[in-house]
Amino acid sequence: MPSSNYFYSCLRLCFQLPNWVKWGIVLFICSIYSILFYNLFVSPTGFRWRAIYGDPDYPAGYTIHGIDVSRYQGSINWNRLRNAMIERSPIRFIIIKSTEGGNHIDTNFRENFSNAKEAGFIRGAYHFWSNNSTARRQAYYFLAMVHLEPGDLPPVLDIENKPQNISTEEFQQNILTWLHIVEDKYHVKPIIYT
């Protein structure tokens, strides 16, 4: 058991170190942990953290900026948002999550939709595509829950992933079905947000 004795000797030596050295070791270990955590978990999915830290790479030459909001932003301070700037340009439009799938409405949609208009923003509503409902059911649910008015942005379809169990062509046809149903109602081509 020489390795066990070696371990206990090292442990005894650590307890005899001055406090400033112990704190230095703890800070070093925390720094290494933070670097590893960032590189392994945060950096590969960095786009998910943009809502917290902002996206520093906006297209050059564009002065019209907007944001999307949903229940994940919680209660929004619309007066403060009215004066918010992105790259020295004011926020002009808000796209608000309305529905998801064939039976889910964002809990903050109605409040956000109303408040965005009162705050003077151009507003829009987006439907989050779900692979668990048919295209028709999702389109008609969106139309039942969202009542766009003149001056609002065209309806938006947010598509994040394709189901593995159908072909690309079938998936495209499903998306087109949603787009055609919604276009027939509003007489404007929907925006695809992906």
pLDDT at 52: 54
Question: pLDDT tens, 13-51?
Answer: 777 778 888 788 888 988 998 888 877 766 655 554 555
Can you tell me the distance from the alpha carbon of 150 to that of 154, in angstroms, rounded to the nearest whole number? 10
Residues 57-91: tens digit of each pLDDT? 666 777 778 899 999 988 999 988 888 887 778 88
Report pLDDT digits (tens) over 116-153: 999 999 999 999 999 999 999 999 999 999 999 999 99
Instruction: Tell me the catalytic residues.
Output: 68, 160
How confident is the model at residue 53, as a pLDDT?
A: 55
Mean pLDDT of the chain: 86
What is the value of pTM for the model shown? Answer: 0.68
Judged on CB neighbours under 10 Å (0-12, 13-18, 19+), 126 is buried
- Retrieve residue 105's tokens: 């409405």
> Distance between CA atoms of 96 and 106, rounded to whole angstroms?
9
Give dist(CA 33, CA 54) in Å, integer.
24
Measured between alpha carbons, how far is 157 from 101 in angstroms, rounded to an integer?
A: 11
